[in-house]
Amino acid sequence: MGDAPDRNREAHYTAPMNLDADIVPGRSIGGIVLGQQALELIERLQQHAQVVVRPALNLDYTCYDIDEAMTIVVGNRDFLVVNLVARSGYRGCLFGYIHAGMRVHELIAGASSALLQAIHLHNEFVYLDRAQSVGFLLPPQYDDVADRIEHLPADLVLDTLYVMPPAMWQVPGRDGKLVWRPVD
């Protein structure tokens, strides 16, 4: 009984990432969580995966590409995970069907009416929720050319699915109903 926690810790140690895990908006990809300390995580990943380190466009961050399946974006100052990116090698899904590498028509065809209402294009992304905590990065040539998902080419491949901290949250409005407000 006394050594069971050590076995659990060892199992966690040898499996720092699960490429089949669900994608959770504003929270995680592959079991890796936003805000998580990255030093030990990256060290463990390097033992079990191909890790390629590269600078981000903003020099305050570093990107760690993992097995061509995902990217972990880490803040250089505090070494915390600030963004996560699923790429076409990632097998897990968001909302049961959304995955990196899908085409626009597949996204639209599988979406519920509530999801279609939540999808919006803004600041180079196709956001999949009102909180702007998960979304596909648009190829540069499609940024600012469409206002709605239906206006993008049906065969456009959406390669990278980002999980980010929420930019908006729900708060009670004047009538008591929840409304979306920007995070301060």
Amino acid at 38: A
pLDDT tens, residue by residue, 11-53: 333 457 899 999 999 999 999 999 999 999 999 999 989 999 9
Q: What is the mean pLDDT of the chain?
A: 88
In words, the CATH class of domain 4-169 is mainly beta
DSSP E strand stretches across the chain:
28-29, 32-33, 51-55, 61-66, 70-75, 81-86, 102-103, 120-122, 125-127, 134-137, 157-158, 161-163, 168-172, 178-182
Whether 167 and 132 have beta carbons less than 8 Å apart is answered as yes
